Amino acid sequence: MKIFSLLLLTLSLSVPAFAAQPDGAVPGQAAPGYQGPSASYGGFQGPTGGTDNNTVAKALKAWDESPAVLTGSIVERLAGSDDKYMFRDATGQIIVDIDHELFWGKTVTPANTVRIAGEVDKEMFEATKIDVKFLEVIK
């Protein structure tokens, strides 16, 4: 029984050492100065490459399921829907489909500038929209 107790004590004292990261970061906390949308998890903060659909005008002409990254504002929620909104930038406006979870508890108003990333969604007999996978409040 003493050996079991000693083994349990040794294990409990060594667990925090295994949880430490090599660079001294604490799991679940962001690096100092990081202000991105997933600040509690850290991640890359910088430009997104690989997409030419960076304005509403370009997204409206793009192929179905093309990636799109847009910066502008959400100006209104569409009547009869809890996840469809009108998004506007300097080149026009487009319907965006944003799941409630993507707001991460943040309040967004038409005065806020946001960056959204997702896919162009073109369906027959419906307006082109963006299926949003990521939403970041810029200001």
pLDDT digits 0-9 by tens, 74-111: 999 999 888 999 999 999 999 999 999 988 888 999 99
Radius of gyration of the chain (CA): 22
The structural domains of the chain, ordered by start, are: 1-46 (no CATH), 56-137 (2.40.50.200)
What distance lies between CA 66 and its chain's CA centroid?
A: 17
pTM: 0.63
The Cα–Cα gap between 132 and 68 comes to 9
Whether 54 has a pLDDT exceeding 90, the answer reads no
Whether 118 has a pLDDT exceeding 70, the answer reads yes
- pLDDT by residue (tens digit) across 3-53? 656 555 565 665 555 444 444 444 444 445 445 555 555 667 676 666 666
